[in-house]
Structure 1
Amino acid sequence: MRLVPDQNKENVREPEDSRSSQAPAALEHSATVQPAQTPQAWSRGRRLMVSVPIFIILIGILVTVSNITAVPWKKEPTGQTMETLSPNTAVTFDNPTGASLPQRGSYKVASRHVTIKAKRPSTGEIQNVRVLIREPQDAPSGRPGVVFMHGAGYGTCDDSFGDVAFDLASAGFVTAVLDKPVWSTNDVNRDYPGSAAAYDQVVNYLRSLKSVNADRVGIYATSESTWISPYLLRMDRRIAFQVLLSPMVYSPRHSLGFMVAQDFALTGAHAGYQSIVRRLFHVDSSMLGLQNLDVPTQFDVGYSIPTFVAYGSKDVMTAQVDGVRKILDMAHRTGNWNITVRSYPVANHVLRLGDEADEGTAFSDDYVTDMVDWSQGTVHGLRQTSERVAGTRIYQSIAVPSELKSDRPLTVYGVALHIATSVLLLVATVIACIALASKARRMIRRHSGRTLGFARGFGNALLMLTVTTMATVVLFIAGLGQVVMGVVKLGWGGAPVEDPGMMYWSWPVIQIVCTFVVWAWSRVLTRVIEEASAHGLAQLPPRTGEIKAVVTGRKPVVASTRLGRVLFWVTTVAMLHVLLFFAFWGLFIY
């Protein structure tokens, strides 16, 4: 019997084989999970809807800061004038005896140096001060004396007052020019009462000379030293007379506030730069250990003796109309009516013609002759016959800003902001240097991987905005620097430029650039929010595990590396502080 294959069995097994071969595919198909959809990028419209509120909030904060830190400023009345009683500045006296008085050039002059130990009363500090004594030769005994008092800076006995001290000596006065007593102080913390004591030591030295009449020793003070002379007259009532060149009269805060505000305007600086003065002179300097801004200088006794006041029409540092009125008021309250005022055309702050920085710049017109004649007539007790107020018309552009005062909250905020901004910029710079060094090392060693790993163009955006912001800072410093140089030039007797240039146009340019920078930062922050939203960080509560993934860089928002993330956020905060710095100084007042 022949065996026949069982067809039915084959037919049964075939489907089994078929099912077994298809089962893995079926299982694979059934186990396949559809990939999570990548969140779609925001549309331009949605980004704009987020960017605009952020921009409004940022610009609103900056505008608010600018307006809160703004300081009111009263310039009225402007263009004040005081008419003189005669254009002739000559000083004459009634001389009933007919005796001729010595004049410039009456005597030959001999000079010698002495050294005194000037003691600072508040600290006991000693400064060896050289004094240049000039004496008239063959002059009779009982000569008058004059001690010269320095203005700002660090003048010495050999480079200060040489011509005028010689002229007075040639007219019969014994003159003393000393090294400026400064001890360990500087321009911002001068010891005015201590300086007065040092000058009084020299006054007493002249009085001790046999050739000098002790009751005829006076002082010659200029500019800053007119803040010292009232202290000297308060401690030494024997001072016989005083010559005051461009007296400041008011406290340093008010005098300097007036000077800087006026000079900023004269240089043609934009009103924005002028507003910096208002904030600057509202600083509470006592917090910084500096008391001189509000040191009292208006003592009636400081004008209780015969006084010769001289101003120049090109003096851009002193409030002349208000100053004369204040001097006359204080003098009259002490019963002193012996005040002579002279105003000289074309003369600057130190009564020179032209730029004092140039060697050999001459005094204005007949100033020295007038001053010597007044001093001679005064020490001889003669009655003045010439007008008390004479010369060119006295002019003052704006009022003295007497409303200036210390503002502690403004100072605290300003100091904290500037310190924070400086620290953040320094830290950002250090981190950037570390990043550059790390990238250079990777390139040299050809290591794979990213140094910063910025995502979605955040690196380019950060670089562009940082460069733009810092370029704006450079433009601000350059514009302010040009204003300061213009003010210094005016102070030395120069003329303001016809075209102010950068000191005018830089301010509105900075304002425009800052506005665009704020808009750009709002766009960057919008992108950060977009990325955070894509990672589930913009919802409450955040998606599980996403915060850790973002922090570790496994799912980066701005950068995949820790160094990149630190650099981004530190630099961003630093640049926003720079914008707050601009706001503090008024850049966002439109």
Structure 2
Amino acid sequence: MRYRIALTSALAVVLLGALGALAGPGWDPVPMTATIDVETPDTTIGQSQGTEPIGTYDVVTSVVTVRLNGASVEAQISEPVGARGLRPGVVFVHGAGTGKFTRAFRTQAHALASAGVVTMVPNKRLDTYTTRHRDYVAMANDYLRSVELLRGLPGVDPDRVGVFGESEGCWIVPVMAADNPRVAFTILTAAPVVPPRQQAAFAVDSYLRNTGVPVEVLRAIPRTVGMELPGGGFGYIDFDVEPFQQRMRQPVLIVYGTGDAAMPTVQGALQIIDDVSTAGNPDWTVRYYKGADHGIKVDGKVDRDFLRDMAAWIQGLPATGHADPRVAGAEPHQRFLASPVARPRWYAEGDMLVALLVTIGISLLVAPVTWLVRRLRGHRTPALSEGVPVPLAVMSVSAASSFALFVVYLLVVANLAQNYRTNALVVQGGWLLVRLLGLISVVAGVVLAYRVLDGRRRRHVRASRTVGGRWCLIGSLTGSAMLLTLLAYWNVFPALL
């Protein structure tokens, strides 16, 4: 009997593993083979006549209101005290998040102002910005209102006002700059370059590999990032910024930190260079800052060399737009390409998964609800035959526990990855526990199947003795089978393919 259970359980696990592998899509990122030639580790951008270093001026701030279409936002202006003549200006475009001038770009805006550049940090418009809906073209039009306001301020040279974008803002800045001479220059910091869906897959892969997760967890990337999320929306996730970059004719400063695992640091710079060259634009400069993170920060502080170089580049334009060295700083490393993400098949799209989870929940609740109703009505006769309740309960509970732990495991690992931390006990031990619970569910299901079959063959006894027992059996079997299939889809069972 034990050998029969062991052999059948092993076969069931192999079949579930094969089901998960065949359900697709797979995950096999393309290695990054292209390189970018860094000319020198010195990021300094040559000083030209009329440029002033950071700290030259005291800085005064004021708050203005920017009128948008159907709304308004406040913006903070930072100005150099006592600076003579018309000054260049910069409007900062936020990355993901709420984007308040009280918290965002404080160091960058103050540093540039102290070097004689008038800066403007508007609050992000939030009434049209949600997790489910973002319109980068509309956002670009909103930020252009800030550009126009800054161009009209006293002491600002309207022909020398540019825009600074960081992360998600680098999908907005090219829209603002394309075919638009009112934008004098652009600074793209930690630019994703590829559509958000590709960027998300690249970042998740990079973070998870750094955390040391099993390869089976990596295979879940396209099955999550590639799906259409429940309830629709999220159209922006496939926004392609490349056509706008190919119409940028302004000088562009491209900035990455070599400690930024979330961005395609080599691919991004090469793509922007290629795109602006398509526009006939020779004015590009690339800088890599050693160990700097996504915000060009080292140990939580904005890199001072970055601030120095940015101030010199802005003030030195147009000469600094194409001055040597074109590419400088630390050597970047990018292991894989940020590539298009395969879509899951119809049965694994977001709405279908939600429907499946609801069905599973209802199915698994049948047994405890039936038991409770029978108890309240005073029924003491067993609803199931002897030997059936224990493996049935173990199968259901262990399958549900495996899936619940799988979700918790992903959340914990994501937290570790985002904070650049590793924990072998959590990463490896947690995955082993998820698999162990799934295996227990399979074994319990096999034991249940043999007990039901043996009861019918040898003793002519049905597994259920009452109508309620029949519903308990059907609900638990249906819910557990669906859960095991779902666990197989998420690669919990080892695949031999």
TM-score normalised by length of structure 1: 0.77
Unaligned residue ranges in structure 2 (runs of 5+): none
Report the CA distance shift for 1:513/1:151 in structure 2 as closer, same or farther (over 3 A). Answer: same
1:530-550 deviation line (CA, Å, top 9, x unaligned): 4445687xxxxxxxxxxxxxx
CA distance in 2, matches of 1:144, 1:100: 12
Which residue of 44, 65, 68 corresponds with 1:118? 68
Q: Tell which structure's C-alpha radius of gyration is larger.
A: 1
CA distance in 1, matches of 2:97, 2:438: 38
Which residue of 146, 150, 157 corresponds with 1:213? 157
Number of the residue aligned with 1:22: none
CA distance in 2, matches of 1:324, 1:350: 16
Number of the residue aligned with 1:464: 394
CA distance in 1, matches of 2:253, 2:129: 30
Partners of 1:74 and 1:399 within 8 A in 2: no
What aligned pairs does 1:506-545 form with structure 2 within 5 A after superposition? Answer: 506-533=430-457
Report the CA distance shift for 1:142/1:64 in structure 2 as closer, same or farther (over 3 A). Answer: same
CA distance in 1, matches of 2:231, 2:369: 35
1:63-109 deviation line (CA, Å, top 9, x unaligned): 3431222324343425865341011110004x4xxx44232222222
| SS of residue matched to 1:483 | helix
Number of the residue aligned with 1:85: 39
Q: Which amino acid aligns with 2:282?
A: W
Report which stretch shifted further, 415-424 or 161-170: 415-424
Number of the residue aligned with 1:423: 359
Shift of 1:214: 1.5
CA distance in 2, matches of 1:384, 1:55: 67
Partners of 2:141 and 2:176 within 8 A in 1: yes
Partners of 1:377 and 1:384 within 8 A in 2: no
Which residue of 243, 252, 262 corresponds with 2:187? 243
Number of the residue aligned with 2:333: 395
| SS of residue matched to 2:119 | strand
CA distance in 2, matches of 1:577, 1:127: 48
Is residue 2:299 matched to residue 1:369? no
CA distance in 1, matches of 2:402, 2:492: 11
Q: Which amino acid aligns with 1:480?
A: L
Partners of 1:261 and 1:274 within 8 A in 2: yes
> Alignment RMSD, CA only?
2.8
| SS of residue matched to 1:104 | coil
Report which stretch shifted further, 556-565 or 178-187: 556-565
Size of the alignment, in residue pairs? 494
CA distance in 1, matches of 2:454, 2:476: 20
1:227-271 deviation line (CA, Å, top 9, x unaligned): 111211126332111111111111112211111111110111111
CA distance in 1, matches of 2:96, 2:71: 18
What aligned pairs does 1:91-102 form with structure 2 within 5 A after superposition? Answer: 91-93=45-47, 95=48, 99-102=49-52
Partners of 2:87 and 2:118 within 8 A in 1: yes
What aligned pairs does 1:34-73 form with structure 2 within 5 A after superposition? Answer: 44=1, 48=4, 58-59=12-13, 62-73=16-27
Is residue 2:461 matched to residue 1:560? no
Report the CA distance shift for 1:75/1:223 in structure 2 as closer, same or farther (over 3 A). Answer: same
CA distance in 1, matches of 2:381, 2:178: 70
Partners of 1:105 and 1:167 within 8 A in 2: yes
CA distance in 2, matches of 1:459, 1:163: 65
Shift of 1:437: 6.0
Number of the residue aligned with 1:194: 138
| SS of residue matched to 1:288 | coil
Number of the residue aligned with 1:295: 239
Partners of 1:283 and 1:410 within 8 A in 2: no
Number of the residue aligned with 1:28: none
Q: Which amino acid aligns with 2:336?
A: I
What aligned pairs does 1:4-43 form with structure 2 within 5 A after superposition? Answer: none
Number of the residue aligned with 1:319: 264
CA distance in 2, matches of 1:462, 1:235: 67
CA distance in 1, matches of 2:410, 2:345: 25
Number of the residue aligned with 1:351: 296
| SS of residue matched to 1:89 | coil
CA distance in 1, matches of 2:440, 2:374: 32
CA distance in 1, matches of 2:208, 2:324: 37
Partners of 1:80 and 1:398 within 8 A in 2: no
Shift of 1:139: 2.2
Partners of 1:148 and 1:221 within 8 A in 2: yes
Shift of 1:369: 0.5
Number of the residue aligned with 1:329: 274
What aligned pairs does 1:544-583 form with structure 2 within 5 A after superposition? Answer: 557-583=462-488
Shift of 1:285: 5.2
1:499-539 deviation line (CA, Å, top 9, x unaligned): 43221233344335423422321221232234445687xxx
Report which stretch shifted further, 312-321 or 426-435: 426-435
| SS of residue matched to 1:304 | coil
Number of the residue aligned with 2:415: 485
| SS of residue matched to 2:223 | helix
Number of the residue aligned with 2:254: 309
Is residue 2:371 matched to residue 1:435? yes
Q: Which amino acid aligns with 1:392?
A: A
Partners of 2:252 and 2:321 within 8 A in 1: no
Report the CA distance shift for 1:229/1:285 in structure 2 as closer, same or farther (over 3 A). Answer: farther
CA distance in 2, matches of 1:374, 1:270: 44
CA distance in 2, matches of 1:367, 1:115: 30
Report the CA distance shift for 1:216/1:430 in structure 2 as closer, same or farther (over 3 A). Answer: farther
Shift of 1:191: 1.5
CA distance in 1, matches of 2:438, 2:343: 29
Unaligned residue ranges in structure 1 (runs of 5+): 1-43, 120-125, 355-360, 491-495, 537-555
Q: Which amino acid aligns with 1:101?
A: T
Number of the residue aligned with 1:32: none
1:143-196 deviation line (CA, Å, top 9, x unaligned): 211110111111212111111101111222221111112324323422111111
Which residue of 77, 93, 111 corresponds with 1:149? 93
Is residue 2:45 matched to residue 1:108? no
Partners of 1:472 and 1:513 within 8 A in 2: yes
CA distance in 1, matches of 2:308, 2:467: 77
